[in-house]
Structure 1
């Protein structure tokens, strides 16, 4: 599944860069987990979780970012910001880019501000 994840992370990065975001980090690993993408959109740091689900038998890809997963992403983002203090004063946002469906009919969704750190 890691190979599929890599494909969709690269696809999401390319789509976000076309939308004007700049990539600051990809697959940033902390003890709390991994940040798929860290992007910058103007004066906002955007932490992006990329999800793929081939079928929706357990819900769609976006809903797989559970409150527990959100908590891990928030902690990982705090560690990234601590390691990159030049960005720590900027606004932050958590986005989810989800891909659903089998090859040939994949739908993509970009949820800007999918959840808050509060």
Structure 2
């Protein structure tokens, strides 16, 4: 991951922590794909995809999570759940879009897809 990507993931982490989520791990990677942030929110395991776009000209940050990206993320989440014995635990997949220049616009889509 490049430095700019790390910067936006860090901003996302800070934003989500301010919303009450607690970090479990960052940048989990497996053959199936990568999960940017794995967090806990109340009784949920939350798997977060972070996207940044400087402009909304082509649909913005949330639109950047394509069907293909969703499928890869879902496979990575399933792998993580199986590896850590979480298949019976409540979980959700969130997308956090960050747009523009500072001060950034945050768009947090909870339970974005399953």
Shared fold by TM > 0.5?
yes
**Which residue of structure 2 lines up, in the alignment, with residue 115 of structure 1?**
113
Q: Which runs of 4+ in 1 moved over 6 A?
A: none
**Which residue of structure 2 lines up, in the alignment, with residue 92 of structure 1?**
91
**Which residue of structure 1 lines up, in the alignment, with residue 44 of structure 2?**
44
Structure 2 unaligned residues grouped into runs of 5+: none
Q: What CA deviation, in whole Å up to 9, does each residue of 1:55-114 have, x standing for no partner?
A: 2333211011111111100000011112211x332111010110112x235311111111
Partners of 1:21 and 1:104 lie apart in 2 by 23
Q: Secondary structure at the match of 1:115?
A: coil
Relative to the length of structure 2, the TM-score reads: 0.91
The alpha-carbon deviation at position 22 of structure 1 amounts to 1.1
Q: Is 2:77 aligned against 1:77?
A: yes
Partners of 2:49 and 2:73 lie apart in 1 by 8
Structure 1 unaligned residues grouped into runs of 5+: none
Aligned positions, number: 114
Relative to the length of structure 1, the TM-score reads: 0.88
